[in-house]
Amino acid sequence: MHLDVVTPEAKTFSDEIDSVVLPGSEGDLGILRAHAPLVTTLQPGELKYIKDGKERSLAVGGGIVEISNDYVSVLTDMAVDQDDIDAQAVEKALERARKTLSETEVTEDAEEIQKAIMQSIAQLEVHRRRKGK
C-alpha cells in the first residue's frame, strides 16, 4: 500500500509500506491493504508504519486522512521523522509555549499556542518511545 504524508511546506513522506497506525480522534486507527474507503481526522501524535518488517514513526500534528483501496493520504500541519526530532529544542519550545499560554487570555492566539504545545508533546512522545528501542 502507498502512504503519502504532506504538510503545507512539502511532501514529507511517500513510499510503499505494509501497514500504518494513525492517531485518530477516537484513538489509534490501524490500516492494512484493501482497507475500506474512509476520510477521518488526524490528531497530534505518533504515526507508525511498517515497511519490510521494520516499524518507523513520524510525529504528526492535526489534519485529515483519506484512505482509498491501497492508498493512504495524510494531510497534516506537521510531520517529523523520528530521527529528526531534536528533543532539547522541542522541550525548550514546549516550555516557552506553556509560559506564553499561562500569560495569554483565551483568544485565537491561545488556540495557536495550544496547538504548538500538542505538536511538541507529540514529538517528545515519539522521541522517547523510539529512544528506548
pLDDT in tens, 99-114: 777 776 656 666 777 7
Dihedral angle sign, alpha carbons of residues 35, 21, 48, 44: positive
Q: Is the same domain home to 52 and 89?
A: no
- Cβ contacts of residue 105 below 8 Å, gap of 6+? none
pTM: 0.75
Quote the domain boundaries for residue 103: 85-131
Q: Is the same domain home to 65 and 9?
A: yes
pLDDT-derived band of residue 132, with 50, 70 and 90 as boundaries?
low
For the domain that residue 76 is a member of, what is the CATH number?
2.60.15.10
Report CA-CA distances (Å) from 36 to 20, 55, 63: 14, 23, 19
Domain count, the chain: 2
Q: Is the same domain home to 12 and 56?
A: yes
Q: Is the same domain home to 70 and 44?
A: yes
Question: Reduced to 3 states, what is the DSSP secondary structure of residue 129?
Answer: helix
Burial class (CB in 10 A: 0-12, 13-18, 19+), 85: buried
Q: Is the same domain home to 38 and 98?
A: no
Q: What pLDDT shows up at residue 31?
A: 93
Q: Is the same domain home to 105 and 72?
A: no
Looking at every residue in the chain, the average pLDDT score rounds to: 85
Q: Is the same domain home to 9 and 71?
A: yes
Per residue in 38-56, pLDDT (tens digit) is 999 999 989 999 999 999 9
The predicted model gives 76-99 an average pLDDT of 81
Q: Which grid coordinates are listed for 85?
A: 526530532
Q: What pLDDT shows up at residue 90?
A: 75
Q: What pLDDT shows up at residue 50?
A: 96
